[in-house]
């Protein structure tokens, strides 16, 4: 099986190199999901198949589509927040280590490993049809949902074990030498090929909210689309991520509130409230109970206090890029990577980007990260009604930002969000440029020029 996994990996690299832009991105997207960042070719520095897929995609884009890639980096609508984020990484490294320090290396790696997905997807979205991507990736998403449901029913994850066993090193949470069963007495848990159920939940929520607006678009047959949305919804429940379920419901509520008439809004939102009252009751109970301590609101408050205390000597720039992951996390007796305070109290896994951003890059890093997310949201929300085809991309940004705030980016799960953000941002710029060109051509049409000439003559005669 290991040989087949490696053939799949190198096959994806081959498609990225030899395929056209659309096929390259499909392979890039699929490979990011199938090969988690816990299976490694090299352990130090950490080089996973997921890293190689990202770097190969960017390298191929540079070789074959250099002008568009450079334009996507230096002339995209996010240049200000992205520039501030890069400056934050740089200043953190300079303050804590220096120009040629390991801290600077971590900063550069983190910039590429985080924002590389956004830039790559933006370049593809700006020069391709996003609807073709949605149709092309449809079968792959359906297959992922099928395996997720099978995993939940059997309480056994075979794809995860097979894929991670094929590589020289493994840095995951589960023992590959035994059956991987994530289900608990009080909930089902699935992760498919991702590092953690929360990472799988990020992917499922992102794809559900990506396909939801297609109900109103004549792109995918409605029966097939509803079936896929149903599969995604079942998987969101079965993955056991309460954050994924909660943020998906928030996204659906935003979609309804922005799309339909007041009567439909009231009826649909009422139906959602009735249908999910029991589920939300369980979520709320577990957010406060010891049984779901990782999602406890009291526990999150303790983690926030711990994060602020940790940067008391460097609140502006933080303690250094990757400081939390390299200096605070330690493996406990159960094989889990956890954080403890000075008194030995368990601080969990710092389940929010807020905590790790504060510790690593201080308040400047935290502000620059959220500025980027809010900038993307505002662009999408401001222009959602401008084009001939209504755009609901702001919904994914809102739900994704909430997800990252509540549960962080476990297993590089933010990659799924940033790929869809970038794809939709590229589509947005493509539509905006098309409309601007049409308006310019209309203003220069003979009829308009003749009308302007008549107005000028009338003005001069007066």
What is the pLDDT, as a whole number, of residue 285?
A: 52
pLDDT (mean) for 321-334: 79
Contact 193, 33 (CB under 8 A): yes
Retrieve residue 299's tokens.
């526990």
3-state SS, residue 364? helix
Check residue 6 and give its pLDDT: 95
Closest by CA to 207, choosing from 76, 72, 30, 385, is 30
* CA end-to-end span of the chain: 86
Question: What would the mean pLDDT of 107-128 be, rounded to a whole number?
Answer: 94
Which pLDDT score is estimated for 291?
Answer: 47
Question: Residue 340: beta bridge partners?
Answer: 346
The H helix count followed by the E strand count for the chain is: 19, 4
Say what the pLDDT of residue 200 is: 95
Place of tokens 């997807």: 121
pLDDT for res 273 = 60
Is the Cβ–Cβ distance between 159 and 192 less than 8 Å?
A: yes
* Residue 8 to residue 178: CA distance in whole angstroms: 24
Residue 238 structure tokens: 């079965």
- Would you state the pLDDT for residue 388? 56
* C-alpha closest to that of 259 among 395, 397, 358: 395
Out of 82-91, 317-326, 344-353, 403-412, least confident range: 344-353
Average pLDDT over every residue of 402-411: 89
pLDDT digits (tens, 9 = 90+) for 446-462: 666 556 555 554 544 54
Q: Are 425 and 432 in contact (CB under 8 A)?
A: no
Give pLDDT tens digits for 54-102: 999 999 999 998 998 998 888 889 999 999 999 999 999 999 988 888 9
Both tokens of 154, joined, read 């059997």
Mean pLDDT value of segment 368-393: 84
**Distance of alpha carbon 183 from alpha carbon 152, whole angstroms:** 8
Q: Residue 209's pLDDT is what?
A: 95
Look at residue 333 and tell me whether its pLDDT is greater than 80: no
**DSSP codes of every residue in 3-63:** HHHHHHHHHHHHHHHHS-HHHHHHHHHHHHHHS-TTEESBTTTTB-HHHHHHHHHHHHHHH
pLDDT of 429-447, one tens digit each?
A: 888 888 878 777 776 666 6
Please give, one letter per residue, the 3-state secondary structure of 130-156.
HHHHHHHHHHHHHHHHHHHHHHHHHCC
241-300 residue pLDDT tens: 889 998 999 899 888 877 766 666 666 666 656 555 555 554 445 444 444 455 566 777
Phi, psi (degrees; rounded to nearest 5) at 187: -165, 155
The count of other CB atoms within 10 Å of the CB of residue 391 is 18
Token digits for 233? Answer: 């919804």
Residue count (the chain): 462
Nearest to 57 by CA among 34, 86, 77, 29: 29
pLDDT at 431: 85
Task: Identify which has the larger pLDDT, 272 or 200.
Answer: 200
Structure tokens at 2: 């290991």
Mean predicted confidence (pLDDT) in 95-112: 91
- For residues 170 and 40, is the Cβ–Cβ distance under 8 A? yes
The pLDDT mean for the chain works out to 85
Please name which of 303, 376, 287 lies closest in space to residue 338, comparing C-alpha atoms.
Answer: 303
> Model's pTM, two decimal places?
0.88
Residue 107 has pLDDT above 90, yes or no: yes
Q: What pLDDT does residue 447 have?
A: 60
């Amino acid at each position: 099986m290991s040989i087949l996994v490696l053939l799949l990996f190198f096959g994806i690299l081959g498609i990225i190199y030899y395929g056209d832009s659309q096929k390259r991105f499909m392979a890039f997207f699929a490979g990011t999901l199938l090969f988690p960042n816990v299976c490694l070719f090299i352990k130090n520095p950490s080089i996973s198949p997921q890293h190689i897929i990202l770097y190969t995609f960017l390298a191929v884009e540079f070789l074959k589509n250099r002008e568009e890639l450079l334009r996507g980096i230096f002339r995209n609508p996010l240049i200000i927040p992205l520039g501030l984020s890069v400056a934050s990484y740089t200043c953190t490294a300079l303050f804590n280590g220096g120009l040629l320090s390991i801290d600077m290396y971590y900063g550069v790696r983190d910039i590429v490993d985080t924002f590389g997905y956004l830039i790559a997807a933006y370049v593809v979205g700006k020069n391709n049809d996003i609807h073709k991507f949605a149709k092309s990736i449809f079968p792959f998403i359906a297959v992922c949902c099928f395996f997720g449901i099978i995993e939940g029913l059997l309480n056994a994850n075979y794809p995860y074990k097979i894929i991670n066993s094929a590589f020289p090193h493994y840095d995951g949470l589960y023992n590959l030498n035994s059956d991987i069963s994530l289900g608990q007495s009080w909930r089902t848990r699935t992760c498919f090929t991702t590092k953690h159920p929360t990472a799988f939940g990020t992917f499922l929520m992102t794809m559900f909210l990506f396909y939801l607006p297609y109900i109103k678009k004549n792109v995918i047959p409605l029966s097939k689309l509803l079936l896929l949305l149903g599969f995604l919804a079942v998987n969101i429940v079965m993955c056991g991520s309460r954050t994924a379920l909660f943020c998906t419901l928030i996204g659906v509520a935003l979609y309804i509130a922005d799309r339909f008439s007041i009567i439909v809004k009231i009826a649909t939102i009422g139906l959602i409230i009735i249908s999910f009252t029991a589920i939300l009751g369980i979520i709320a109970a577990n957010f406060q109970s010891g049984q779901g301590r990782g999602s406890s609101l009291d526990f999150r408050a303790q983690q926030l206090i711990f994060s602020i205390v940790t940067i008391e000597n460097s609140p502006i720039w933080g303690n250094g890029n990757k400081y939390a992951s390299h200096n605070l996390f330690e493996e406990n007796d159960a094989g889990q990577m956890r954080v403890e305070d000075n008194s030995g109290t368990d601080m969990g896994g710092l389940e929010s980007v807020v905590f790790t951003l504060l510790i690593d890059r201080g308040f400047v890093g935290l502000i620059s990260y959220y500025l980027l997310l809010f900038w993307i949201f505002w662009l999408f929300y401001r222009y959602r009604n401008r084009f001939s085809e209504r755009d609901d991309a702001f919904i994914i940004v809102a739900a994704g930002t909430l997800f990252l705030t509540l549960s962080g980016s476990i297993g590089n799960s933010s990659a799924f969000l940033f790929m869809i953000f970038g794809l939709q941002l590229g589509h947005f710029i493509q539509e905006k440029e098309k409309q601007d060109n049409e308006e310019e051509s209309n203003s220069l049409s003979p009829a308009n020029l003749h009308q302007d000439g008549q107005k000028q003559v009338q003005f001069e005669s007066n």
